[in-house]
Amino acid sequence: MVPIMSDLQAPLRPKRKKVLVDYLVQFRWIVVIFVVLPVSCFIYFKLFLGDVKSAMKSEKRRQKEHEENVKKVVNRLKQRDPQKDGLVCTARKPYIAVGMRNVDYKRARHFEVDLSAFRNILEVDKERMVAKVEPLVNMGQITRYTVPMNLALAVVAELDDLTVGGLINGYGIEGSSHIYGLFSDTVVAMEVVLANGQVVRCTKDNEYSDLFYGIPWSQGTLGLLVSAEIKLIPIKEYMRLTYTPYRGTLKELAQAYADSFAPRDGDPSKVPDFVEGMIYNPTEAVHMTGRYASKEEAKKKGNVINNVGWWFKPWFYQHAQTALKKGEFVEYIPTREYYHRHTRCLYWEGKLILPFGDQWWFRWFLGWLMPPKVSLLKATQGESVRNYYHDMHVIQDLLVPLYKVGDALEYCHNEMEVYPIWLCPHRLFKLPVKTMVYPEPGFEHHHRQGDTSYAQMFTDIGVYYAPGPVLRGEEFNGAEAVRNLEEWLIQNHGFQPQYAVSELTEKNFWRMFDGSQYEHCRKKYGAIGTFMSVYYKSKKGKKTEKEVQEAEAEILEPAYAEEV
């Protein structure tokens, strides 16, 4: 089939003169090969041994150790002197977080609480279908534990290193989110240490329900999450995955994507268990739909089994791209390998980090070292390289209503020209309270594709790569592009996860997000003046001592007002 030419034309830009940092980035693979990959491999192995050791302990012992560690957190909070110690945050090093945003708030005066011991799976309750885990349990660890039981979290974020705490306090999504919502929507209960050291268990219907709805997207600024109970679902051994190629304009590709999981006749039997789309250029895409399948079905004669997790296998996004040449095809992937299909190549960021990493010789001989730990990539990049990535690289997720995906794709092409683009749908539920992210008012009256009376269908548009102008050696203003993108999201009822680099002013931050429930919880549970505000924590740039003092003093103003 002859590709349909898009009528979109990327703007022409003047050429940019190369400077030293361009060459540091170009040859960064040397540091990655000889330092980052070997050290990453050692750390992964050490963590794996720790996970095995933890799994060998009885649930009773793990729970006892958890209670002891919670007491240590409470005692540490009580040691804080509000007049001089700074605002509370965890003791993790700034580069440990998985995300592009600089953890600039840790470069100013602050009070650290060590949560490093909280990385145990405390209980898997098969009757309640709930897993109780600590905040530093990551996705690789929990799937290794539950998948052999034919159980999994309802939403399993793709990258192994993503932690439960980060996915609850921040944002998490997966190909099953069109059914179950975001990761935080699958949480049943949370154990939280408040600013005064009180330990509470919050659920959607107990006395701390306001806190339950306030914590997601709060970036850990309402209290310290020390455990969570998360919904489990029954699964099967394999994922039956269908790869379907499409060609057309960006809006036509967006419509094909919507049709792949949201049948226009509303027939629930046509809704797949998993769905994702990948747009490779302005005219070509591959959309994938998956259904759980038994071992017996997968091994029937004629069926193709693909162990995508093996180190020598082609990177998943490139494997999916072959559908554009050979047409639609079906294969069976072991379920756990499917969950973590993007881990080895970090979606397609691995191509920039190691330009030859996708070649057969590298995959066969060194592919077992992949992926590099994101924390080590950040720790070894230096200030100049870090600033380069902020200006010349894009890692953003755009959460937009499903019916606006076509418009968003055209906007991204015109402003950034980044490919591939990842598409992943998710429900945004209508909740009893208005949380930081929320559906469009009155969405249920429009009966749009994918929507129900209780949830609006959104899509995460993942824009991760160097923009086209940068790859062509042209000028590109990354800060301006992000500012324009954020304004577009505000105008179109979209949201930007705060793991990414943000240029939002405080006024625009609260234009994008609703702060009513969040501020209610900040005041009620004494977080003001103890924990950083979510905007303070997300804001770009190192905090000055004056900003720290102003944030600490916030609690004093209403107190003085009451005494007058």
Amino acid at 7: D
Q: Which of 234, 265, 290 is the last residue of a domain?
A: 234
Q: Which of 483, 513, 543 is the last residue of a domain?
A: 513
Q: Are residues 173 and 244 in the same domain?
A: no
**Dihedral (Cα; 472, 475, 478, 483), 10-degree rounding:** -120
Quote the crossing angle between the two packed helices 382-392 and 478-491, to the nearest 10°. 50
The reply to whether 103 falls in a domain is: yes
Residue 56 token pair: 């060998």
Q: Are residues 286 and 406 in the same domain?
A: no
The reply to whether 518 falls in a domain is: no
Give the span between the Cα atoms of 6 and 249, in whole angstroms: 6
Q: Are residues 246 and 326 in the same domain?
A: yes
Q: What CATH number is given to the structural domain containing 72? A: 3.30.465.10
Q: Are residues 141 and 250 in the same domain?
A: no
Give the span between the Cα atoms of 323 and 331, in whole angstroms: 12
SS3 percent helix, strand, coil of the chain, rounded to 5, is 40, 20, 40
What string of DSSP letters covers 467-510? -HHHHTTB---HHHHHHHHHHHHHHTT-B--TTS-----HHHHH
Q: Are residues 209 and 70 in the same domain?
A: yes
Q: Are residues 86 and 73 in the same domain?
A: yes
Number of structural domains (the chain) is 3
255: containing domain: 238-341
CA angle centred on 474, ends 470 and 479, rounded to 5° = 60
Q: Are residues 277 and 404 in the same domain?
A: no
Dump strand ranges (E) for 345-430. Answer: 394-401, 421-429
Q: What is the DSSP secondary structure assignment for residue 35, as one 8-state letter?
A: I
- Structural Rg of the chain based on CA atoms: 23
The reply to whether 365 falls in a domain is: no
Q: Are residues 252 and 276 in the same domain?
A: yes
- pLDDT tens track of the chain, all 564 residues? 334 444 555 556 788 888 888 888 889 999 999 999 999 999 999 999 999 999 899 999 999 999 999 999 999 998 988 877 778 888 776 556 655 555 566 666 678 899 999 999 999 999 999 999 999 999 999 999 999 999 999 999 988 999 999 999 999 999 999 999 999 999 999 999 999 999 999 999 999 999 999 999 999 999 999 999 999 999 999 999 999 999 999 999 999 999 999 998 878 888 999 999 999 999 999 999 999 999 999 999 999 999 999 999 999 999 999 999 999 999 999 999 999 999 999 999 999 999 999 999 999 999 999 999 988 888 888 888 888 888 899 999 999 999 999 999 999 999 999 999 999 999 999 999 999 999 999 999 999 999 999 999 999 999 999 999 999 999 999 989 999 999 999 999 999 998 888 889 989 999 999 999 999 999 999 998 888 889 888 876 666 656 666 665 664 333 223 332
Q: Which of 513, 537, 556 is the last residue of a domain?
A: 513
Q: Are residues 454 and 329 in the same domain?
A: no
Give the span between the Cα atoms of 184 and 219, in whole angstroms: 12
Q: Are residues 212 and 122 in the same domain?
A: yes
The reply to whether 228 falls in a domain is: yes
Q: Are residues 228 and 287 in the same domain?
A: no
Give the span between the Cα atoms of 225 and 227, in whole angstroms: 6
